[in-house]
Chain A
Amino acid sequence: MDYDAIVVGGGHAGIEASLALSRIGFSTLLVTQRLDTIGALSCNPAIGGLSKGNIVREIDALGGEMAHLIDHSMIQFRILNRRRGPAVQAPRAQADKFTYNRLAKETVEGQSNLALFMDTVVDLLLDEAERVYRGIITERGHTITSRVLVLTTGTFMEGKIFIGEWETSAGRLGEAAAIGLGTALRQKGFPVGRMKTGTPARVRRSSIDFSRVETQQGDAIMLPFSFDYPTIDRPMRDCYITWTNEQTHRIIGENMARSPLYGGKISGIGPRYCPSIEDKVVRFPERERHQIFIEPEGIGTEEMYLNGISSSLPEDVQAAFIHSIAGLEEAEIMRPAYAVEYDYIDPTALYPSLESKLVDGLFIAGQTNGTSGYEEAACQGLMAGINAAQKLKGEKPVVLGRHEAYIGVLIDDLVTMGTKEPYRMFTSRAEYRLNLRHDSGDVRLTKKGWEVGLQSDEHLARLEEKLRRIEAVKDLLAQHTHREKSALAALKMPEVTIEELQGVVPALGRFDEATLHQVELDVKYAGYIDRQQRQVDRFTRLEAMAIDPLFDYDSVEGLSSEGREKLKAVRPFSVGQASRINGVRNSDVAILIVHLRRGGGHV
């Protein structure tokens, strides 16, 4: 055996997976097509956003890397949705792409136990029955073996790029696709499909007329995503806003037939939440204009990203419509917008541990599982890395609950229901989102990170110290009186803020901002959180009823035939998961519970 673990792909999923495995202590090899693009931000130069920012902080609490990378490469920071309520606020940062990329590469290079190798994987080596993973075969003919594999191929597996009538085999513009593996996996019986996504054009900064666009500044204070340090110090850059207009839409409308999407060349399914400008014009004809954010790709570059107008129209049409936009009349297009279509593997063929149901020892993460987005990819990479390590250790997989983390929601959705379009996280996907605030990520997950060996004792001690501070603040408030009640009770009133109480309880001054803020939210939302907690309690009871993944559903009498088929296909880890499968009826769940309680199939 050459390595304990191999990770294929140096994207956001692969980085987390390889770091997790090597940090936990397993000799790991990261094989990727190009070392220079490790951690490349393929699309927009930003990390975080609603629910995604929460994911980044969850990754950090578990001991992942993404928060550190963005903290040290950000050039603008904002807390989004301040006015919408704490449960749905989230941090978002513009990244200097080159710094992000370089830091990512530096981090994996600096990691002990982790080897890097540049090559393209074209096939997997399995045992004779094709049920157990053994190793990889590369384009240049190397065979490398390991006990487990994490596959993170992103948009590269049989990737194909489209710009109008032009198309080429590529994973990103100018970067070769990974050819061969998709075909090999199809032949091995994996459920492989096609998806597509797109990216907008990049234009030259010095060719933009800034007098005709709005400036959008970040927050005055930059806050770190990571829970490891209280502050960061980074240079700040502005973004800009402009709008399409009727002429833009007319140009797009007249050339619709030349779009590979509408011309029928692309068969993959694209995301509805991130539509191309063609889609927007077709679907919302009544809208007179669409917003465009002009974002810097970094500090040392002139490239500016045109957020909001991804497209796969021919380049002459792109130029024409971009030039119709205020501020961009003279814009010099440096990279064109394009669409990419690639192979993904139906994630319902995975267990909640992200291990394949077909091949033992094979874990799959990131865009390969039908998701899109850096954060979505990174968190899967982390969980796949953790669970591959658990497997190497002979321990049970770590599965995060829907009530514990957005990561739990994401993976549960994927493996239980699958996805028809590139899956992106939304706050509305989480039924217990009041519990999933970004600022409580450490409270929710640090312990788990520590248990699997990714967080140190100091991390745990720091968390415990934070919890003590929170309790101390609550005690302090309970001892003081404000507005004829205890200060703690007064804080429940909508108009009373923690700042106001600082006047009444001067000792609060000893505590840091983050702690005070957390207490304020805990207290103000207590009623709602309690209500949600009752739902969570109910929910976790079904989650706690474990089912052996190899449980013989044929041995259970009385299951509906559709339910039985679905259960056999999904192989849920728990009764809770079983109850969320489309096509599994209440009666099936009832019978299953009866059966499990009576001694069959318990883990």
Chain B
Amino acid sequence: MSRYDTQDIIYALATPWARSGLAVIRISGAGCKEALAPYFSRPAALLGAPNATMVHGSLIDEAAARIDEVVLAINTDGHGYTAEEAIEISCHGSLAVIQAILALLGRIGMRSAEAGEFTFRAFLHGRVDLTQAEAVEELVSSVSQRSRSLSLSRLEGKLRQRIDMLKDTLLTILAAVEVQLDYAEDELDEFVFPTQALTDLIASIGSLADTYQIGRLYKRGAKVVLAGSTNVGKSSLFNLLLKEERSIVSPYRGTTRDYIEADLEVGGIPIRLYDTAGLRESEDLVEQEGVVRSERLIGQADLVIHLVDSTDLGHIPEEDGRTIVVYNKSDLARIGGDKLAISAQSGEGVARLLEVVEAYLKRSIPEGGDEELVIEGERQWRLLGGAKGALLRALHLVQADAVLDVVAVELGEALSNLGELTGEVRSDDILERIFSGFCVGK
């Protein structure tokens, strides 16, 4: 029942979980300014900010690396929506940025809010009039809806089954340990810790958590950047790809003249394609700035399609996990071997290119992975990660021959993480397992 603990600092993304120009993350709870200050470029400005003011600066992570440039809107105690000390972070609407900020907040001891929790706090502090029956109804539905949506109903079908299975395995391991703690040594058979079962469980939880990457890919899409020198045919390829794909959303010009971008879909994955066309070495300050930006763009890309001119090879970058080299103008010059050759002019090889792109983006899908089993929510992923972390600690303790009572602490923590996904586990459930699985009692 942590959820209605108003002592916690809570946070949530207030704008939709989608790419957008701007995103807003809300934080509420006494002490939130102080908690955030060490991770803000201008801590003194933040700490000293009076109510209803804005502070401009950057969020930085533990290693002092910049996460994003942001504007913080400050509310002091007694003001704002929740009438608590609160901060609204306005940041860039890139999912990577949002993700990084949310992760930071979680790491520094804030808690991801339950849906309805901001409203709950607003009620609590008299911001919303409780005497209106309607408002109460609303609270009920918002609160109960969220507690369901975040645990049970969102987990349907196979995923639910899979997590229940993991939980069941863990419960069995935990019961084997708990029975040792509930009964005296001489009342029980010789105990051997089920190390193999634990190792297997860690692997299963790990691979389920890994599907988050895939889920994220489908949900948030991928950034694909066309790179290469001028005149290799990037623009032609860009236009061709937009034409090939029927599911074009909109080609539009970027906010600056550095690059243009467009949304399309490859194999079900939403892709934002960037064309750095029009860039060349330049004395022009604006254009120089543009080069820097497109380099940054390349740095952030999930995949870089590096186009080279088959008639004039020049510098060819290494292919790595993020870069594929594509030889354009295959109609003019043949490139041997299994190199990826296309003609942006005739369209030859483009279908194959799309296959390769799709394969690249999906390569994190584990072998034989069940595509239906995909973790989507950050919260689910976090809980699985929490469970896995605790189990790894348990495993280390077991390997170090530590006493069972602390091993049980870690296993218990893992179980409560899984329990938050599919419903709580009570001590009765553990005893039930003990009584059904072990012959105990003098």
- A residues lining the B interface (CB < 8 Å): 44, 49-51, 80-81, 83-88, 92, 216, 241, 271-275, 280, 283-284, 287, 290-291, 293, 307-308, 426-429, 431, 433-434, 494, 525, 528, 531-532, 538, 541-542, 557-558, 560, 576, 579, 585-587, 589-591, 593-595, 597-598
Contacts and interface: CB of A to CB of B under 8 A. Distances in A.
Contacts, number: 140
Nearest to B145: A587
Nearest to B427: A429
B4 interface: yes
30 contacts: A49-B184, A50-B182, A50-B183, A84-B181, A84-B404, A87-B405, A88-B405, A273-B431, A283-B439, A284-B439, A287-B439, A291-B186, A426-B431, A428-B431, A433-B405, A434-B405, A494-B400, A531-B409, A538-B7, A542-B4, A558-B139, A558-B140, A576-B1, A586-B4, A586-B143, A586-B147, A587-B140, A587-B144, A591-B140, A598-B130
B367 interface: no
A474 B126 CA distance: 48
Contacts of B139: 558, 587, 590-591, 594
A576 B5 CA distance: 11
Given A84-B403, A87-B405, A587 B181 contact: no
B360 interface: no
Given A84-B403, A591-B139, A557 B442 contact: no
Interface in B1-40: 1-5, 7
Contact of B405 (A86, A576, A598): A86
B429 to A, nearest CB: 10
A525 B406 CA distance: 9
Contacts of B7: 538, 541
A83 B440 contact: no
Contact of B120 (A307, A431, A590): A590
Contact of B2 (A525, A538, A595): A538
Given A84-B181, A216-B186, A538-B5, A274 B147 contact: no
B185 A83 contact: yes
Interface string B38-78: 00000000000000000000000000000000000000000
B172 interface: no
Given A293-B442, A434-B409, A590-B116, 5 more contacts: A84-B185, A85-B405, A86-B403, A216-B186, A560-B144
A428 B403 contact: no
A341 B52 CA distance: 70
Contacts of A50: 181-184
Contact of A85 (B3, B183, B406): B406
B185 A431 contact: no
A293 B185 CA distance: 13
Contacts of B144: 560, 585-587
A429 B182 CA distance: 9
Nearest to A525: B406
A589 B182 contact: no
Contact of A594 (B124, B184, B404, B430): B124
A81 B184 contact: yes
A291 B438 CA distance: 13
Contacts of A586: 1, 3-4, 143-144, 147
Contacts of A284: 439
Interface in B401-442: 402-406, 409, 412, 427, 430-431, 434-435, 439-442
Nearest to B440: A273
Interface centre among B1, B120, B140 (most CB of A within 10 A): B1
Contacts of A274: 441-442
A241 B143 CA distance: 57
A290 B144 CA distance: 49
Contacts of B440: 273
A597 B139 CA distance: 16
A558 to B, nearest CB: 4
